Chains A and B, each alone.
Chain A
Amino acid sequence: MSAESTTAINRSIVDLLDFIDWSGVECLNHNTAHSLPNAIKQGYREDEGLYLESDADEQLLIYLPFTQVVKLHSIVVKGPEEEGCLIGPKTVKLFSNREHMGFSNVNDFPPSDTAVLTPDNLKGKPVVLKFVKFQNVRSLTIFIEDNQSGSEVTKVDKIALFGTTVETTDMKGLKKIEDNH
């Protein structure tokens, strides 16, 4: 609680959607018809019909690089409403600053945090993460290990990340200042 207020003093917690570097986004084992932007992009993710779905089995590996260094506070993972949220994700492991992970090496190093999602979470309740582990995040890897019912396919309606930015130089900002002269 106090952690939240201290951060609130300096900066407010924002949706980190704007800071995702889309050129480097990767997703493994997703069904090409139901791909990652459905779950993350503004507008897409609010649409019930658009979701991210796994392909060969129930695991998903999502890699999100950021345009600047961020501190990650909490995460919202929404699963599909129907079927009692049975095929939404259950165990979600988060790795910060690990590039190009594959399914074979997810178990090689400990995750920065693990979230076990309840059906409440899947309805939209944010999961607060270990803030201290996510102080200096350049990229985030989300590993969805299994789903609520153990079915072959996992569906994700929405993934939203909340946190704050760090004082990284924003090159676009620099340019604007120069233009004013």
Chain B
Amino acid sequence: MKQSETTSLVAERGKWGYTWPLWTTLLLHLLAVFLFTAGFLLTRTELPHRSHCSDVSHSPCLSSNNGSCWTKPAANRLVLVVLDALRFDFVAPSTFFAESKPWMDRLQVLKNVASARPLSARIFKAIADPPTTSLQRLKGLTTGGLPTFVDVGNSFGAPAIVEDNFINQLVLNGKKVVMMGDDTWTQLFPHHFERSYPYPSFNVKDLHTVDNGCIDHLLPSLYEEDWDVLIAHFLGVDHAGHIFGVDSAPMIEKLEQYNTILERVIEVLENQSGPGKSHENTLLVVMGDHGQTLNGDHGGGSAEEVETAIFAMSFKKPISSVPPEFDSCSCQLDLDGKNVCVSSMQQLDFAVTVSALLGIPFPYGSIGHINPELYALGADSWNLDASQKLSESDIWMQNYANALCINSWQVKRYVDAYSASSAVGFSNDDLSRIASVYAQAENHWSHSTKKLLLDIQNDSDTLVPALKRQIDAYFKFLTTVSELARSKWTEFDLKMMGTGIGIMLISLIFQFLTILRANKQHGETLSSSGNSWVITGSVFTFFLLGIRACSFLSNSYILEEGKVANFLLSTSGIVALRQSVIKGKALIESIGFLILSTFCRFVIEVGLSKQAATSAFMKDYTSWIVNIASGLVVWDYAAEVVPMLALILLAAWLYNVTSGSFFDWPWKYVILGTILSYVLIIVHWITDSNKFGVALMAESIGRNYIPRIVYAIALGQLLLLGFGQLFMKNCLDYKANLVAKTTAMLSAWSSTVILLSGKQGPMVAFASIVGGALSFCTLSLYKISITCCIILQIHFWHGFTYATNICGLAMILTFRSQFHEHQTSCSLAKKYVFSHFFPGYFIMKFVDIEGGKQGPHRSFSILQWSLSATCLFFCSGHWYACNFQGVHLMASAMVLHL
């Protein structure tokens, strides 16, 4: 009776009258998430410009006359040893810290050299900028900029650096670069190296492959003459930190191993450094790309993570020391009673300083300044054209002032170009402030310093004070720019975030009002259809949702969200099992659901353990299956075959489904198209993998054409679907029609999704289909459909969940490192789609069809839906991919295929 009343109500108002609040809510939420993430995900535009040797003639500075490019080269060869995740306290003597720890004083050789030869070897405390992940740091080190997580203009996923960088400058200026170690370098610079010995950084548990590979090639290469710059990137310390933590025996072993290697490297270079020998003019740099916490984590902005070390040493006869004004070093006696000095610098300054030392143009987008102490290591090679009147330190200062002049001009050029080309450039106030500071320094240069420098007759008494003032003026300009850039690229836009949260709150109020309204209309329906399970069911649902919402207020729960969601999902599964025990129905479905959630749980755990592989991202083997099974050949084959079997199973299941009576012609053809796509995907995988040595067709066909065909089929399917939706009459009963439409729609999407997500795709698809089927069963089990009121309540809670999510983020952000929030917000938008839109779609479908016939306690099923969507989200490994620009990975796969 009540039922017919409601249905007539639905008929009278049309489905739009019921669904518009849902659409409005969805719109508001999307807007809120968009605004919030716009303020939260820092973006930066990459400029494609390059610096050229000839550019320097546009600058007001003195150009060198002896054929060098921008600055006079102080070193002609560079050995760059990068030790991943090198904490500052690995290098500095333990006396610099309050407490001596077991991992300190292990790299003895560096501080011994630094104390024995304070003029030609130096230890720096290098401050990196967040995000302190290897990819971003290598980018920052080589470009001299501040890379963010989302660099617009990035060539969709392929991590190769688009911006000008010092490796690129080396190649452009005819220097030969040799690389060994972490293969991230070869991904960043695919065509730059003369020779490279990349080793996979994928497996964190493997402490030795990369390091041993480095060691095998490093020492022999030192004797060779065919390179100008040698890069060796060791990963062992990073991996040891991830697996065992800093305070562990493997870490200390690794550090001691490095100590011996560095000793040998320095010995070889030393022996070859005599006049006329190959390393006469070589600079050795040993540096970390970022630090790590005691647990081995990095990525954030805490002191432990950003503080790393740079050790630089030149093998020439030391001549002069830096004038004390520019010396930032602090000295301490170490345990052996030797005096060790440690200076401090920004990692941002590394690219430009090294470029200046090597005499190549500074990277176009570099915003650092030439570090005086590091620059001073090349000091002695400039005394050739020195007049007798000036001391060496004065000559050094002349050179330095000129280098800073070029440096400032280059930074100003970049700032102008950036604000001209980027949609979200610097504000006008900031630009005019920069311009005025630059003009001031520039004035001083052209009107006094330049003249003084050109006039050789000046003695140091008049020159030196003028130079000092000049250098100070340039420092002021360069610091202003780098501060501004830091505020723009490493700090969040609180206004946008606030607006986002505000809109979220508005949408909550809106939902609340709609609920009130709907309650008024349907109040009697609700109360009359109430039975005890309905009440306890909804109480339980809201209890779980409330717990989930509250859990977002804590950072720990956000980090473990996959596990928490799975915990709640399993709990709901157990409650459903209990319910079916009471009713004695659908026992198998409930048990199946529980087994599925357990399966989900294991998949999530595998994904999380892989997430620890910080420096091991962008791999060809994105599939976790392959990751686990990389040890055995049999497993290799299994890893290849299992996804295919799963796909064949899926295809068979779909074929079975089409034989069902309620599949009309358009849906049937859509599904047949999907089966065809699956077959093509399997063929694609076979041709793609190197395991089955069968060349069924030319490789290029398999690589390029099959994905295109699959996309074309998917497009055709979607068109067909749209056509069917528009022109087919819904002659069958609603339920069957719904099932047909849903299956067709999902299958139309599935082939593309499977192709994009690689070999774990079919597993996830399989799990989601089984899960979906089971949920359908549980839905039909209760034999009750949804009223608008309940949907809105659920959405209200969802909104609340996300609002707390966002508020929690905002709260945490004020006192915690940025990295995890980056991850979270990056996944926020996608999770929103996964866990909000899909259930939302189905809810609307049900509203559409059953028009709120009766009974509100579908809420429980919707909760299950939503939780399983979240779990599947975590299963699909997006969480992991998110870390490392996985957003791009997905898109790039598609772009590459096309």
A and B from one complex: no
Enumerate chain B interface residues (CB-CB to A < 8 A): none
